[in-house]
Amino acid sequence: MTMDNRSLPLGRFTVLDLTRVRAGPTCVRQLADWGANVLKVELPASVEGNAALGGPRHGSDFQNLHRNKRSITLNLKEPEGLAIFKRLVANADVVVENYRPDVKYRLGVDYESLSQVNSRLVYGSISGFGEDGPYQERPGFDQIAQGMGGLMSITGIPGQGPVRAGIPIADLCAGLFCAMGILTALLEREVSGQGQWVKTSLLQAQIFMLDFQATRWLMEHEVPPQAGNNHPTSIPTGVFKTKDGYINIASAGQAIWERFCKAIEAPVAPPERGQDTEAVLAELGLSAEEIAGLRTREII
C-alpha cells in the first residue's frame, strides 16, 4: 500500500478476501480503493496448482484486480489453516467469497460457521446462479451469464446473432452490487450491532442490467431486438463512417435535436415515433452514403 488508508472512508474496516477470478475480486477491489484494510487469503501453490484463473500474478489483469491488497497464504483444507483463518475472522468486519455455494460449506467458511466466531461479521457472497435453486452448484462464467441474462440477444448488428459485450459486464456488475450490499450491511450494523449475509449472483446482476430493455417486455410485451449502434428507443443515434474516421451521433431530446439540425444546416423537423435513425437522417437530406463522403470536421 502506498498511502495511509486510515484517512480514507473505509479505513476503519478490515476485509478478508477469499475471492478469485473476477466478480469477487472486483467487489473487494472497490472496498480496497475506498481504504478498507484488505487481506487476500490465497491457497498454497501446491494446492492451487494450475487451476487459478486471472492471468499471471505479475500480469496487468491480476495486478489490476488485486490492487491495494495485502495477502496471506493459508490452506483452508487443513485444520491448522482453518483455525488461523477463524482467528482472523474474530477481528474482521467483512468476509467476501465467490465459491460455488457447496464449496464454502465443505471448507467450513460459510456464514453460519463464521458468524458463530464473530456475530458482527458482514459476509458477502457472489455465485453464478444464486445460493439455492436448480443451478446453485454450477460454476458461473460471465459469458454464460450474458447469454442467459438476455444481454447477448440485444447486443450486435441486427441479424448477426447473439453477441457478447466487450467487457465482462456480468462479473463487474455482480462485484459492484456485492460491494454496495456490504456497505449497506455495515450501515445497518451500526443500528443493530449484528452482521448479516449479503448475496448476489452473475445472473441476477445481468438481468438487473437489462434495465429499460427488460421493462419493454414486462410492461409493453415488446421483445427488444438487436439495434447495433443505434439506440433502440431514442433517435437519431448511431455511428457513421466518414472520409477520415467515424462520427458518433446522439441527439435525443428536442433541444439537442435542434442543435444537431443547426450544426448540419438542416431544417428542424421533429422525428416521428417509430422512425429509425436512417429514416430521420434521410428526411434531413443525409444518407449513410453521403455521410461517408464527408470529413468529420465538415459535419461538426
CA atoms within 13 A on the CB side of 282: 6
**Under DSSP, is residue 245 helix (H, G, I), strand (E, B) or coil?**
strand
**Under DSSP, is residue 71 helix (H, G, I), strand (E, B) or coil?**
strand
The label of the residue with cell 441474462 reads: 149
State CA 9 to chain mean position distance.
22
Catalytic residue among 33, 61, 171, 211: 171
Percent of the chain as helix, strand, coil, to the nearest 5: 40, 15, 45
**Under DSSP, is residue 228 helix (H, G, I), strand (E, B) or coil?**
coil
Question: Which set of grid coordinates corresponds to residue 182?
Answer: 456490504
- For 34, 77, 127, 146, 164, the CA distances from 96, given in Å and listed in that order, are 16, 18, 11, 23, 27
**Phi, psi angles (nearest 5°) of residue 225:** -90, 175
DSSP single-letter state for residue 64: H
- Distance (Å, whole) CA 225 – CA 154: 5
State CA 261 to chain mean position distance.
36
- Distance (Å, whole) CA 223 – CA 214: 9
**Under DSSP, is residue 276 helix (H, G, I), strand (E, B) or coil?**
coil
Whether 171 is catalytic is yes
Catalytic annotation, residues: 171
